Amino acid sequence: MIGKILKKFDDRFLKSEPRTGDLFAVAALFDTPDQIIHAAEKVSSSGYKKFDVLTPYPVHGMDDAMALKQSKIGWVALLAGMSGTSLAFLMIWWMVGVNYPNIFGGKPFFNLPASIPIMFELTVLISALTLVGSLIAIFMKLPNNANPIMDTEFVKRVTSDKFGIYIEAADAKFKLEEVRAMFEELGSFSVSNIHEAVYDLGDTKNPLLSNKFVGAIVVTSLVTVGITYFVLNVLLFLPPFDWMHYQPRVDPQTESKFFKDGFGMRRPVEGTVARGFMPYEFKGMPDSMVVATPNPLPVTQKVLDLGKKRFDTYCSPCHGYYGKGDSRLRGQFPVPPSLHSVKVTNWKDANIYHVITNGQNTMPSYASSISRDDRWAIIHYLRVLQRSQNALDSDLVGK
């Protein structure tokens, strides 16, 4: 079965085109790279213009030997790249500077440095696509890119292990006997005449408008669009590809049908400890059980500023800005005692930390609102308040 399919393929696409009596070119084969370099130099220096060299691999110095001019494809790449850069520049300027301006970090609407990567990518993309399209459609004259030297013994050898050169009969200096004699003199082991081929150009003079060619482009486009639509709009929403779209999760403040109580937000499991976190060891214990550990933070201006900020935020509404118990809540909450009492003044820092963490009487725990370091910073600031309200004569000496 497979053999029959391959045979039909060979009969359809690999058959040789019928030849006419008109001469297209004279071709010569050589054994070594040095021979083909010498042959190219001889042909170009003799004034021939319509010739070409074919080798199984790149041969360095061939461009100079053939006296080739600089390729025009570089100009195509330059113009396409400049077009891509300009298009990207105008696109970004219009989108972020005119059509939908947004301020990001105080930067201008159109921020050129941030746009350079996109401009570079579009430059490369447009340049690459234009180059490929130009090579295929213009330089290679797609779809009519056939050449009479195809399916000849000459091409089979130069694409395998030999080096070849041919001169077209359309060259102004071409004379059959002179060309053959020159190739033989250069050491060619095989000189052959290549005749014009008869091509089936279809029912139109312009191959780009051929029904088969246009039909192939349309079918390819429709198939590509169909596959893309199916993958992006159908396949990705089918199991097992939909796991990113429909995740078994519970959003905050939403009901959960998995748990019996219906709550989606769960409390930590009783008795568990988060990784890297040490629970407060005196939680729920009376003040007398607290071990007097020293304050781990140094007394610096930065720590005092932090303690003042946290004290004013969390403590001053009840204790007042100076800790005198002059609440700003206007009787809406029981007035706490002064923080300048003998009891609080004589407390160790660990005792005050315990009250902030564990709560006392009507004062709730602030463990969930104030971080550990911030609690110690508050204590340092409280000591400053206590010292300011109970200053000694020695504090004023030299001031």
Q: What is the pLDDT of residues 6-33, one digit of tens each?
A: 666 566 555 566 777 789 999 999 999 9
Residue 199 has pLDDT above 70, yes or no: no
Number of domain units in the chain: 2
CA distance 240 to 301: 58
- Count CA within 13 A, CB hemisphere, residue 276: 0
Query: Residues 31, 129: one domain?
Result: yes
Query: Residues 170, 300: one domain?
Result: no
Residue 179 has pLDDT above 90, yes or no: yes
Query: Residues 24, 168: one domain?
Result: yes
The answer to the question of residue 297 being in a domain is yes
The answer to the question of residue 6 being in a domain is no
Query: Residues 188, 53: one domain?
Result: yes
The residue that leads in pLDDT, 363 or 287, is 363
Of the three residues 150, 166, 200, the one that is the final residue of a domain is 200
Taking the CA atoms of the chain, what radius of gyration do you get in angstroms? Answer: 44
Query: Residues 178, 299: one domain?
Result: no
The residue that leads in pLDDT, 286 or 59, is 59
Query: Residues 189, 44: one domain?
Result: yes
Query: 10 Å Cβ neighbour count for 43?
Result: 26
Q: What range does the domain containing 100 cover?
A: 19-200
CATH number at residue 337: 1.10.760.10
Residue 207 has pLDDT above 70, yes or no: no
Q: What is the pLDDT of residues 293-330, one digit of tens each?
A: 889 899 999 999 999 999 999 988 888 888 888 888 77
Query: Residues 45, 147: one domain?
Result: yes
Q: In the chain, what is the straight-line distance between the N-terminal and C-terminal CA atoms, in Å?
A: 108
Query: Residues 29, 153: one domain?
Result: yes
Query: Residues 196, 321: one domain?
Result: no
Of the three residues 177, 200, 223, the one that is the final residue of a domain is 200
Residue 235 has pLDDT above 80, yes or no: yes
Of the three residues 182, 200, 218, the one that is the final residue of a domain is 200
The answer to the question of residue 254 being in a domain is no
The answer to the question of residue 224 being in a domain is no
The answer to the question of residue 135 being in a domain is yes
